[in-house]
A and B are shown apart, each in its own frame.
Chain A
Amino acid sequence: MSIQTTTQPQAAAPTPTGGAAALELHNVTKEFPGEPPVRALDDVSLRIDHGELVAVVGPSGSGKSTLLNVMGTLDRPTHGIVSVDGIDTAERSDNEVAGIRARKIGFVFQQFFLLPGMSAIENVSNGLLYQGVPPRERAARSIEALERVGLGHRLQHPPNHLSGGERQRVAVARALVHSPAFVLADEPTGNLDSKSTKAVMKLIHDLHSEGTTIVVITHDTAIADSLPRQVAVHDGVLASDSARRDREVVAT
């Protein structure tokens, strides 16, 4: 797959801080084979800087999940460039992209995906497993991360002894433990009651104020509206980006 690096993409966002973005998509298109091929993402460009808290919002079928997979390097785009912390993933092998996930990206899923029979510490330390961090250091950093999400008193509990909100906080700790460039949270409150939802959203805000870059993918506009920046996806294209609107406002 050839990559157009010579011609500057039209929608290249300005780089306000000058450094590499936490995540940058350039003219990303994703097609799935079929008759006719389904274009799930159509020429999407998006820049997320370090320290941002962004909502990617859209109804189901909008291409939101595809965007999540491409942003998380779980899937490669058909065209376009995905750069994580300044690293162009298109030039990297699958194993190298796996290494980028291990070091640069933290995932939080709607279904938590905690492993049964493992304590909170063990679950969190899985976030460091594929970087080759020694076990002792993994445990120490996992305890730190669990304390950061307010679960210092639940270190040895297996998932089935934790409430839904606590489980999601363990998952957040796992996404943070390796200090990624950004955290991708896919419907993080989708399986939670309103009380736990509030607690998890507060945690996300707190982490953001401590400097963590977080992207929340959600269909819930109320949650999206509570975040500083909203990117709306519709039928595979970026329908709106509150940041760009702000910048456009500034530009005119």
Chain B
Amino acid sequence: MTTSSTESTTSKLRLGDVFRVGASGPRARKMRTALSALGISIGIAALVGVLGLSESSKSALLDEISSLGTNLLTVEAGGGFGAGDSELPDTALATISRIPTVTNASAVWDVDADVYRTEFIPEGETGSISVVAADVELVETLNGELAVGQFLDESTSAYPNAVVGSIAAVRLGIRNLDQATYVLIGDDYVEVIGILEEFPLAADLDRAVLIGKDAAIDFYDAGENPAIIYTRILDGAIDSTRDVLPTTADPENPEEVTVSRPSDALEAQAAADDALTTLFLGLGAVALLVGGIGVANVMVIAVIERRGEIGLRRSLGATRAHIRRQFLTEAVILSVLGGIGGVIVGISATYVYATSQGWRVIIPQEAALGGFFGAIAIGAIAGLYPAMRAARLAPTEALRS
């Protein structure tokens, strides 16, 4: 029943059969397959998750920075509110507003008064809330928003009306303005007409109660010298404007003027997150390495355990190369299974956490693809030595049991 006269004598294994044969071992030992793939999974999940989360959180931060604008510069005299000795000249806001590259300029002024919810609060328990006078453009300059009510305008700022910062509102126990709400500023009750959202670029204002500038001068004896001037600068002119701001604000004592850029702090935070990400990536890489060693270990054991199978396959006509390919494929299958699992877990973790934080979910493609192909590479490396050992085994030795 021999077929043809011109028979080729070499043995051959079809490509599809290479995969089928390579999968037969993992298929027959499912528990062990799952456990050895798990090590790779953990490593890949860590890498994908860390990259996904850091990208998502960084993009959230960058979104925030760009929505707040990086073109905000603040001008103040020496320190912050009530910095004592040095003061900005009362003309500073007007002169700064005249710089062509300054698109917006607003100021706040210190008010020497304390704020309490009622007269029954003991004196001194101010909850670290300060009273600040603001001009009507402050919210616009800071890209701020009101949670409730409205900001001061030309008419409301002439008389005692207050807008409370986000943290100040919590500390004063003001949640909404459904009913007329008053706070005690100095000796007078003042109606609250608005509650602000957070000002990430001017966190001091979150802890402040704002009143109109005219009201501050008329009713609380406030000075005309601004405490802080917030300026928005044309894009591209930030550095040059930054250089001229001190002399413009205070031509006599420019050295006493401090100019800062609040978005720098947020960018520094993003950079700090990067450093942390690198650390976690390192940990993920270690987990992956351990997973790879686990696969190599399992494969070495498999080769020892399955000597009989190796001998049988050689007797069925498998060449050394076929045996080598089988065990290499098997190792790659183990780690690809682990890689797929890890990518899924990493993406899910990123999705769940980023969603819970209200971030946009970003799965870096390099992370997902890199994880997958990284797993293939690790499998190939891990399987190399066991596969060579399996191939080197002489059939007579393998069949002896």
Q: Which A residues are closer than 8 A to B by beta carbons?
A: 69, 72, 74-75, 85, 87, 92, 94-96, 98-103, 105, 107, 109, 111, 113, 115-118, 126-127, 129-132, 134-135, 174, 179, 181
CA distance A42 to B103 in the complex (A): 105
Given A113-B311, A135-B16, are A127 and B316 neighbors across the interface (CB < 8 Å)?
Answer: yes
Contact A74 B28 (CB under 8 A): no
The CA of A174 and the CA of B16, in the complex, are separated in Å by 20
**Residues of A contacting B28 with CB < 8 Å?**
115-118
Q: Do residues A69 and B396 form an inter-chain contact, with CB atoms below 8 A?
A: yes
Q: Is the CB of B322 within 8 A of A74?
A: no
Inter-chain contacts of B396 with A (CB < 8 A):
69, 74-75
Min CB–CB distance A96 → chain B (angstroms): 5
* CB atoms of B318 and A130 under 8 A apart: yes
Q: Report B's interface with A, CB cutoff 8 A.
A: 1-2, 7-14, 16-17, 20-21, 24, 27-29, 308-309, 311-322, 394-396, 399, 401
Hey, which chain B residues are within 8 Å of A127, CB to CB? 316
Is B11 in contact with A101, judged by CB distance below 8 angstroms? yes
A96 lies within 8 A of B315 (CB): no
Q: Could you tell me if A74 and B399 are in contact, using CB atoms closer than 8 angstroms?
A: yes
* B11 near A95: Cβ-Cβ < 8 Å: yes
**A113 contacts across to B, CB distance below 8 A:** 308-309, 311-312, 399
Q: Which residues in B have their C-beta under 8 angstroms from that of A96?
A: 9-10
**Min CB–CB distance A101 → chain B (angstroms):** 4
- Shortest CB-to-CB span from B170 to chain A, Å, is 64
The one of A87, A94, A117 that contacts B24, using a Cβ cutoff of 8 Å: A117
CB-CB under 8 A from A92, the residues of chain B are: 9
Q: Distance (Å) between the CB of A158 and the closest chain B CB?
A: 9
CA distance A116 to B52 in the complex (A): 41
**A115 adjacent to B314 (CB under 8 Å):** no
The answer to whether B14 and A134 have CB atoms under 8 Å apart is yes
Shortest Cβ distance from residue A229 to the other chain B in the assembled complex, whole angstroms: 22
Asked if A135 contacts B17 (CB within 8 A), the reply is: yes
Complex-state Cα separation, A117 to B24, whole angstroms:
8
Q: Which residue of A has the minimal Cβ distance to B20?
A: A135
- A132/B319 in contact, CB under 8 A: no
Q: Which residues of chain A come closer than 8 Å to B314, judged between CB atoms?
A: 74, 98, 101
Q: How far is the CA of A161 from the CA of B96 in the complex (A)?
A: 91
Having A69-B396, A127-B316, A130-B319, one finds 5 other A-B pairs with CB under 8 Å, namely A74-B396, A99-B317, A111-B308, A132-B11, A134-B14
Residues of B within 8 A of A115 (CB): 24, 28, 309, 312
Cross-interface CB contact of A132 among B7, B12, B24, cutoff 8 Å = B12
**Nearest CB in chain A: distance from B250 CB, A:** 85
| A98 to B310 alpha-carbon distance, docked (Å) | 13
Are B11 and A98 in contact, CB atoms less than 8 angstroms apart? yes
Nearest-CB residue, chain B, relative to A181: B2
**B16, A131: Cβ atoms under 8 Å?**
no
Is there contact, CB below 8 Å, between B317 and A102? Answer: yes
Most chain A Cβ neighbours within 10 Å, of B17, B20, B321: B17
Tell me whether B309 and A101 are in contact (CB under 8 A): no
**A94-B9 in contact (CB<8A):** no
Cα A132 to Cα B320 in complex, Å, equals: 16
| Chain A residues whose C-beta falls within 8 Å of the C-beta of B1 in the assembled complex | 179
Which residues of chain B are within 8 angstroms of A131 by Cβ–Cβ distance? 11-12, 317
The reply to whether B13 and A95 contact each other, CB–CB distance below 8 Å, is: no
Q: Complex: how many Å from CA A181 to CA B3?
A: 12
Please, which residue of chain A has its CB at the minimum distance from the CB of B8?
Answer: A99
A132: chain B residues at CB < 8 Å are: 11-14, 17
Cβ distance B31 to chain A, nearest Cβ, rounded Å: 12
Known A74-B399, A135-B17; judge A99-B309 contact (CB<8 A). Answer: no
